[in-house]
Every structure is written in C-alpha cells, then in structure tokens.
C-alpha cells in the first residue's frame, strides 16, 4: 500500500485484481502522482465489496475475472447498479472477454481500460472518470466497443426504438461521441459552442437513461446507429 497523500482533494483509488504483481505495478504508478492515492487493494470482488463498505474510494480499477466474486457482480454491488451512488468503476480488461465487458458497463461501470495500456493512459482514465466524464482512450474504447457489439447476442442488444426520443441533432452528437470525439471536438465539427454540445450530451444521456458517455456509446452500437469501422 502506498503512503497516503496529505492532499485532501486527492483522488482515492481502489485496486481490485487477483494478481498481486498487477496491483503492485498499478499502485506504484498511482502512488507517484501528487493528486492520487491508493486507499485499498483487494484480491477478489467479495473482498472489494467488503472493504469499500468501510473505505471511501472515488475510482475503482476492477479486474473482470476473479475468484469468489467476479468483476461484474462486484461492480453492480459497489456502484448500486449504476444509479449514481458509490465510486466510479473502471473495468480492467483484455480483448478476449467479449460481451462480459458490456455487461459490466451496464452493471454500472463508467468505462474500461486495457491491462496493457501505458501508465499515462491509465492515469488519464482515472482523472477523466473522477471528473465525471467517461471518454477513456477514445481509439481503444471505440475499437473494443465495436468488437463487443458484434459478438453480443441479439437478444441482449437494445432495440433501435430506444433512439426514437432523440432529435436529429442529438443523434448526430451521439454518433460523434461513439467515434471518440470530445465535447471540444464535437463543437468544432458541428460549428457550435462547446456549452451547446454539453447541453446536447446531457439530453442524450437523460433520454437514453445512460449513466455516462460510455453507456450511451454502447447503445449507439447496439442499436446499429454506429457500426464498427464506420
């Protein structure tokens, strides 16, 4: 465990992975940052749920496959199923977990990060999610969501009708979100103010019942609004 920082505004991070070496590596990187601290480490989902009941964490890096309780069940527990309560969860994954990651996002995770991502990408992901956004490594996010949307069983996909409540402009914004564009980039492409984009994004999330951008992007792929490679 790294020594706690003296900064009360530091981002409190929890590490949940059954591989001690993985946790140690992440803890070393996170502990080197002046605005972050590792507040707990857990080797499985059940231990994480138990510890998070008595330790405050802002962001949880959660492995998918673990003994006792896996990352999917643990994510649903610690986030309250994505109802806005509890810490924000970033799923640690590889490209071979298929639709499991989508299920974790639906269970309340705010995004995901490839385990072999460079340290600066991991740190950026933690800061981004803590700030309330979920644009995590846009290129990797888009590629992985596109892959997962293809392998997800048809019975588990959202029907296109869920997008009926969106205006044409809101659909346009959602497409750009799915392509990994930031609010600033969307504003530039649509020739509108960034504040206008934020308003559109907020309406998209509200109408779709999405907790954050990643959940909205998943719906964009599931409904066929965006297709892999488009």
Domain co-membership, 85 together with 199: no
Domain edge (last residue) among 140, 166, 197: 140
Query: 84 vs 15, 78, 110, 161, 184, CA distance in Å?
Result: 20, 10, 10, 25, 25
Using CA atoms, how far apart are residues 176 and 147, in angstroms rounded to an integer? Answer: 18
Tally of CB atoms within 10 A around 66: 23
**Token digits of residue 185:** 């980039």
Domain co-membership, 114 together with 218: no
Using CA atoms, how far apart are residues 192 and 185, in angstroms rounded to an integer? Answer: 10
Domain co-membership, 118 together with 175: no
CATH number at residue 188: 1.10.10.10
Top-confidence residue, 77 or 141:
77
Domain that holds residue 15: 11-140
pLDDT band at 1 (very low <50, low <70, confident <90, very high): very low
pLDDT in tens, 127-167: 988 887 765 545 556 666 667 667 667 777 788 899 999 99
Number of compact structural domains in the chain: 2
User: 3-class DSSP state for residue 12?
Assistant: strand
DSSP 111: E
In a domain, 190, yes or no: yes
CATH number at residue 136: 3.40.50.2300
- Using an 8 Å Cβ cutoff, are 180 and 221 in contact? no
């Amino acid at each position: 465990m790294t020594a706690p920082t003296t900064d009360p505004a530091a981002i409190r991070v929890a590490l949940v992975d059954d591989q001690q070496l993985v946790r140690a590596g992440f803890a070393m990187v996170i502990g080197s940052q002046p605005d972050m601290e590792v507040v707990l480490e857990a080797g499985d989902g059940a231990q994480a749920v138990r510890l998070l009941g008595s330790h405050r964490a802002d962001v949880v890096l959660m492995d998918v496959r673990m003994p006792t309780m896996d990352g999917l069940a643990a994510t649903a527990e610690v986030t309250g199923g994505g109802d806005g309560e509890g810490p924000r969860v970033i799923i640690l994954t590889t490209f071979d977990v298929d639709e499991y990651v989508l299920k974790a996002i639906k269970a309340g995770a705010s995004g995901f990060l490839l385990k072999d991502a460079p340290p600066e990408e991991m740190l950026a992901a933690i800061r981004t999610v803590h700030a309330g956004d979920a644009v995590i490594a846009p290129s990797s996010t888009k590629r992985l969501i596109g892959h997962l949307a293809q392998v997800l069983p048809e019975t588990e996909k959202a029907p296109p009708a869920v997008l009926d409540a969106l205006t044409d402009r809101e659909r346009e914004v959602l497409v750009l979100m799915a392509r990994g564009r930031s609010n600033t980039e969307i504003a530039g492409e649509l020739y509108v103010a960034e504040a206008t984009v934020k308003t559109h994004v907020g309406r998209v999330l509200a109408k779709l019942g999405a907790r954050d951008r990643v959940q909205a992007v998943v719906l964009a792929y599931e409904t066929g609004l965006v297709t892999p490679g488009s």
